[in-house]
Amino acid sequence: MTIQQRALLIVDSDPLLEKALSADPRFSTQSVIFVNSPRKSVSLLVDKGSIYGAIFVNPLISSPGIFEWIRTARKARPLTPLFLIEEKTAESAFEKLQLERLGVRGVIEKPCSLEKLWAAAKLFPLEPVSETAKGPVDIFADAVSEEFRAVEIEECFTEVPQLFDVYVRRESGEFVDILRAGERFSPKLLRAHARRGVKKLYIRNDTVERSLGFCRTLSMTLPYAHGLSAALQQRSELNSWESVTDRLKETREVSAEDVETAREFTGRASEFVTTLDCRSNLAMRKLFDFVSSTDQAVATTIVSAKLAPNLGLENEASVQILGVASLLHNIGLYRLPEKLWDEDETKMTENEKALYQTHPELGANILRKVEGIHPTVIQAVAQHHERKGGRGFPGKVLTVGLSPIGEAVGISNEFVKLICRKNINPEINIEQELDKNVFPLFSLPIVRAFKAAFWGGA
C-alpha cells in the first residue's frame, strides 16, 4: 500500500454531489470512492485491503442508518478522519458537543468541491513505506493484544487531530505512546517511524469502546435524545421500518407478527405524512429526497398514506389495509431471482418477464397462509400491477373488477419508481410523465385522489 493509493471515501446518495465531484479534472476512481449505497460502504469500511485518507458521510443515509454506520466506521477505521456532509440550508443533524463525542471531525456544507474535501482531510504525503523502510521489520505488526488494536500507519498521515492516544510497539513488546488524543501528527515524526519499518500503530481498545458507547446511547434514546435534527429523527424512523422489509426480503416469508408490525408502521406513516404539505416546493423536494433514498416498499407505504384521506379512507381499519398492502405488495417478488427485484421490464428477456409477472399471484399465495390477514390486502397484492382496460398483468381483471386498494398501491408504487428515476436523471419531468404514462392506466377516482393529495387539485 502506498500513499498514492489512499482515497477519500464519500457516502451519499446525492447524484448532484457525485456529478459535481466527478466533473473535477482531478477526480479519479483511485482518489475518490463515491458510494451511494450505505450498505455497500459498510463492506468497504471493513475491507482491510483499502486505506482511506478521510471519510465523508451524509448523516441522513438510509439503512443501516447513521448511528450504526458511525459505529462501524469508528471500529474499522478509528484513526481515519470522519466528516459529515450536509445541505447548507438544512438544520445540522447533530449538536457540536454530540459531533465531538461521536468523533466527527467537522461538517462540510454543500455544495462542496473536491478541493474542499481534500483541504478538510489535511493529508500529508509520504514516500511508499515498504520501499523506504530501512530499519528492522516491524515483527509485531499483526500482533493482537486484548488491550490494544493495530492500525495501519498510513491511515494516520493526516494533520487532523487524532481522537485517541497512539502507541508504537517496541521489540521488547512494550507499548509506548507517541501521540496524545487531541494532538496532531507531524509529518516528520511519522516518516521517522515509517523509515524504521513501523507498519502499524496501536490504540487502546477501551478508549475506542468508550467512544462507540456514546453512539449506541444516542441511537437507543431516539426519539428522546435532545439536539438531533427533525430530519435525522425522521430518517432514523424510516431506517427502522426498512429493517422490517430487509428481513422480509431475507426470510421471504410473512408471519402474523409481521402483519402486526406492518399495521403499527401504517399508523406511524399516517402521522409522518401529516407533516408534508406537498403544495410547497420544499416539502415536495423533501418527499422526493426520502423516497429516492428509501426502500421501495417503505416509500410506497408513505406515498399511499398521503393518498389515503383523499380516497375517503378515514377510519383506522381501512387505512391499515392500504398500508399493509403497500408494505407487502412485492413480497412475491423476493421469491424470484434478485435480478428481477428492480422491476425493470426493459432489462428482462421474454422468459424473465413471464417469471416476473407471476409475482403478484405468488405474493397473494404467501399471504393467504398468514393468519388474520384481511382478504382485501390479499386481493390488492394480487392486483397491484393490474391496470385499467386490462393493460396490466397478470391481466385477470378489466376496469370493472379492479380493487381500489390494489390501484392505490399501484399508483403509489409508480410514483415512487418515477421519483427514483428522476433521482438518476434530473431531466425527467414528474408531472408530464404522470400525465402521459401513468394516469391513463388508472381509473378516474384514483387519479383525482392522487392529484388532490400531491398537487392540491383534481
User: Burial, 130: exposed, middle or buried (Cβ in 10 Å; 0-12, 13-18, 19+)?
Assistant: exposed
C-alpha–C-alpha distance, residues 105 and 93, integer Å: 14
Nearest to 134 by CA among 74, 78, 178, 194: 194
To Fe ion, the closest distance from the beta carbon of 409 in angstroms equals: 9
Distant-in-sequence contacts of 182-185, Cβ < 8 A, 24+ apart:
184/158, 184/159, 184/160, 185/156, 185/157, 185/158, 185/159
Closer residue to Fe ion (CB): 198 or 291:
291
Interface residues for Fe ion in 309-348 (CB under 5 A)? 330
Closer residue to Fe ion (CB): 17 or 438:
438
Interface residues for Fe ion in 247-266 (CB under 5 A)? none
To Fe ion, the closest distance from the beta carbon of 13 in angstroms equals: 22
Count CA atoms within 13 Å of residue 131 on its CB side.
6
Q: Are 397 and 408 in contact (CB under 8 A)?
A: no
**Parallel/antiparallel/unpaired status of strands 32-35 and 52-57:** unpaired
To Fe ion, the closest distance from the beta carbon of 374 in angstroms equals: 19
C-alpha–C-alpha distance, residues 265 and 257, integer Å: 12
To Fe ion, the closest distance from the beta carbon of 411 in angstroms equals: 13
To Fe ion, the closest distance from the beta carbon of 62 in angstroms equals: 20
Task: Give the rounded distance of the alpha carbon of 189 from its chain centre.
Answer: 39
To Fe ion, the closest distance from the beta carbon of 339 in angstroms equals: 15
To Fe ion, the closest distance from the beta carbon of 385 in angstroms equals: 6
To Fe ion, the closest distance from the beta carbon of 248 in angstroms equals: 14
Whose cell is 450504526? That residue is: 68
Closer residue to Fe ion (CB): 92 or 330:
330
Nearest to 410 by CA among 382, 373, 375: 382
Binding mask 277-316 for Fe ion (x = CB under 5 A): ----------------------------------------
Closer residue to Fe ion (CB): 36 or 330:
330
**Residue closest to Fe ion when measured from CB atoms:** 330
The torsion defined by the Cα of 46, 51, 54 and 57, in degrees rounded to 10, comes to -30
Closer residue to Fe ion (CB): 293 or 330:
330
Closer residue to Fe ion (CB): 338 or 427:
338
Cis amide prior to 111 (ω within 30 degrees): yes
Closer residue to Fe ion (CB): 150 or 364:
364
User: Burial, 224: exposed, middle or buried (Cβ in 10 Å; 0-12, 13-18, 19+)?
Assistant: exposed
To Fe ion, the closest distance from the beta carbon of 413 in angstroms equals: 7
Whose cell is 416498499? That residue is: 297
C-alpha–C-alpha distance, residues 292 and 312, integer Å: 27
First to last CA, the chain: 61
Closer residue to Fe ion (CB): 62 or 330:
330
Closer residue to Fe ion (CB): 10 or 418:
418
| Size of the residue set binding Fe ion (CB under 5 A) | 1
C-alpha–C-alpha distance, residues 202 and 175, integer Å: 8
Closer residue to Fe ion (CB): 304 or 330:
330
Closer residue to Fe ion (CB): 270 or 412:
412
- Residue 110 CB partners (closer than 8 Å, separation 6+): 14, 17, 85, 86, 87, 88
C-alpha cell at 129: 513505506
To Fe ion, the closest distance from the beta carbon of 296 in angstroms equals: 9
C-alpha–C-alpha distance, residues 286 and 80, integer Å: 32
To Fe ion, the closest distance from the beta carbon of 223 in angstroms equals: 32
Binding site for Fe ion (CB under 5 A): 330
